[in-house]
Amino acid sequence: MNKVQFVARLTRDAELTFAQGTGTAITKFGIAVNRSFKREGQPEADFFNVTIFGKKAEAVANYTHKGSLISLSGSIQTGSYTNKDGDKKYTVDIMADEVNFLDSKGKKEENTSNN
């Protein structure tokens, strides 16, 4: 079974696009997941790219921002590509099924209500 669950913070604002032909919403964003243990000289967090589709993708794009605290569940997808130097690079991405907003009030909501 390929299933992951994280509580994480967005490392950048979500990028919303729409698929040509179908018009399906696609949102991509990065997350940082804190590690439960810390060793000297080791990273304290792991970083992943996340993709989500449909109405949930639109909600993520509209109600989150860099630094937002979320929980998500989904699956891991691996891939590879060849960079401009001809080196093969491998990727690990999260394909999200569910995203829950854990901040009490998002920055985008605050900015809208203060105007």
pLDDT tens column, 22-76: 999 999 999 999 987 777 767 689 999 999 999 999 999 999 999 999 999 999 9
Name the residue range of residue 21's domain. 4-114
Quick check: 111 pLDDT over 50? no
| Residue with token string 């790219």 | 49
Instruction: Report the domain count for the chain.
Output: 1
Helix (H) or strand (E) holding 92: strand 88-101
Residue 27: Cβ within 10 Å count:
23
Closest CA to 32 of 22, 15, 46, 19: 46
| Position 115 confidence tier, pLDDT thresholds 50, 70, 90 | very low
- Contact between 99 and 60 under an 8 Å Cβ cutoff? The reply is yes
Higher model confidence: residue 60 or residue 103? 60
Higher model confidence: residue 52 or residue 111? 52
Number of Cα atoms under 13 Å in the Cβ half of residue 79: 8
In terms of Cβ atoms closer than 10 Å to its own Cβ (0-12, 13-18, 19+), residue 29 is buried
Closest CA to 66 of 17, 29, 40, 102: 29
Q: What is the per-residue pLDDT for 103? A: 87
Q: Note the pTM of the prediction, 2 decimals.
A: 0.81
Residue 78's CATH number: 2.40.50.140
Q: Which of 64-68, 88-92, 108-112 has the lowest mean pLDDT?
A: 108-112
Beta strands 4-10; 69-82: pairing state: antiparallel
